[in-house]
Amino acid sequence: MKAYTIILLMPGLNGSGILKQLVRGRKREAMKLTAGILLVILSTLAAKATGGDSVLPRELIREAGLIRLFSMVETSESINSWIEWLSEYQFEDQYVHDDYGWLSCILALEAVNCGNFGIGCILTNGEGNVVIQGHNEVFNPHFRSDRHGEMVVMDAFEDCYPEISSMDGFTLFTSLESCPMCMARLITSGVDTIFYLTPDSTGGMVHLIHNLPPVWIQLASRQTWGVAECSPEMIDASERIFLLNVSDLNDMLEDR
């Protein structure tokens, strides 16, 4: 089941991404995309054949991210430069969350590309498999004040897996420190561990956890909150992607 989730959430698997890349003259990227799709499919079939859950190695996470990157259309010059940087980035072994952080940044870039705040999130299970991917959806497809990245991911998870009653071993990665709304949601959800890439000194709540009401502090005490172990370059990327359009979108919020 877990192996299928990541596939269902990939926009490029219908083949349209490959076609678009070919049309745009990105033959090399299209070949990479094709290889990525095949790798994911073969891995899933192998997992099914053995009757077990597939463990997603870094290389498979990489292919999943590349599929997302090369499926982005109608991009701007700045988005294109980030697509190039992220597609060429090599995971650094000493940073254990570099792959999850990288995928979160790709999701954040997707969010920016469709007019939302540049924040991406993923949820992993106890085996380290990516169970759900999502990003901020406050403005697109239509205005929803609650559709922050963390909320999008937890909504999808709780709808897809109502039978799961314990969040032991689950980890949520977000490219930006969670706001008060999302922190309350994540506390209630019971997610075991929450890691963020970029600290948010002006909008984040995690560093102000001691200011929560006592019951919330008590509930949060069963969880681990902290900064993801990603390379400085990846953490810097998550911040710069968030900054691409945050000013314009904040103006739109203030005008409502």
Binding footprint of Zn ion on the chain (CB under 5 A): 148, 179, 182
Query: Residue 129, Cα to own-chain centre: how many angstroms?
Result: 13
Cβ nearer to Zn ion, comparing 13 with 179: 179
What distance in Å separates the CA atoms of residue 108 and residue 126, rounded to the nearest whole number? 24
Cβ nearer to Zn ion, comparing 40 with 182: 182
Cβ nearer to Zn ion, comparing 30 with 182: 182
Report, in Å, the least distance between residue 54 CB and Zn ion: 31
Report, in Å, the least distance between residue 119 CB and Zn ion: 8
Helix axes 27-50, 16-23, angle to 10 degrees: 160
Report, in Å, the least distance between residue 254 CB and Zn ion: 17
Report, in Å, the least distance between residue 174 CB and Zn ion: 8
- Strand 130-135: give its sheet, edge to edge: 130-135, 120-124, 171-176, 193-198, 224-227
Report, in Å, the least distance between residue 151 CB and Zn ion: 7
CA-to-CA dists, residue 223 to 16, 45, 216, angstroms: 41, 35, 11
What distance in Å separates the CA atoms of residue 98 and residue 103, rounded to the nearest whole number? 9
Cβ nearer to Zn ion, comparing 69 with 179: 179
Write out the DSSP string of 197-250.
Answer: EE--TTT--GGGGGGS-HHHHHHHTTSEEEE----HHHHHHHHHHHHTTHHHHH
Cβ nearer to Zn ion, comparing 72 with 179: 179
